[in-house]
Amino acid sequence: MSNHEHHVRILVVEDDTQIRKLLKVTLQAHKYNVYEASTGEEGLEQATLASPDLVILDLGLPDLSGLDVLRSIRERSNLPVIVLTAIDREADKIFALDHGADDYVTKPFGMGELVARIRVALRHSARAQEDPVLHHGELMINVAQRSVELKGEPIKLSPTEYDLLKILAFNAGRVITKSQLLKQVWNEYDDSNRHYLRIYIGHLRKKLEDNPAEPKYIVTEPGVGYRFLAAE
């Protein structure tokens, strides 16, 4: 574990005492400094006072909606925020991601999964400038040249396929919603072109995956979007 993780401050905004306790114990075991809030108001206060490096935000808070808390945080900073959502609240996940959340974890969640999400979000926040070359396992993307190689062989991608892959790979480990991809690749603000997205993701998988039916690079987050799996 690198030294910088020892000083990372994480704010947990969660009204369920048991979950808050579990998060605190686990995160402290990973050498994170943990701050707690049990309401949205308290969370916003702590987000200013404690200067956290990352916020874990439950969307079901007793006073403010977690989405309002997220919106207030986003108005003031780019602080990474991971939201905790109930299993059946797909619309909340999508709304939160479209309004600036970095990722989500669905309750009940495994702590290993949450810690992995935290590491990804912190890595993204630390990497302010773009790397000219992205390496993910046997895949290499040269951003300056707009070229892609797999296992040392050049892969021919259309401009749209390349833009889609670049956005997903730059956000490796994070889920990107369908709306975000439509806006960034096609400048589309209406979702009527979602079927294009499915078609282009299909093309990419055929070109990149050993077995497109069991993708190891671009995985579907059902109902939400796509996640590019970062090679550790």
Dump pLDDT digits (tens) for 77-102.
Answer: 888 999 998 767 788 888 899 888 99
pLDDT of residue 91: 84
Mean pLDDT, residues 59-73 taken together: 91
CA 95/CA 81 separation, integer angstroms: 13
pLDDT over 80 (residue 2)? no
Owner of token pair 């046997």? 138
Task: Please tell me the predicted confidence (pLDDT) of residue 4.
Answer: 47
pLDDT value of position 133: 82
Q: What is the pLDDT of residue 3?
A: 44
Q: Which residue has the tokens 């009940």?
A: 108
Contact (Cβ atoms closer than 8 angstroms) between residue 162 and residue 148: yes
User: What percent of the chain is modeled with pLDDT above 90?
Assistant: 53
Q: Outline where DSSP puts E strands in 33-122.
A: 33-37, 54-58, 81-85, 103-106
pLDDT at 149 (0 to 100): 93
Alpha carbon distance, N-terminus to C-terminus of the chain: 14
Predicted TM-score (pTM) of the model is: 0.78
The pLDDT tens digits for 146-200 are: 899 999 999 999 988 999 999 999 888 889 999 889 888 887 666 667 788 899 9
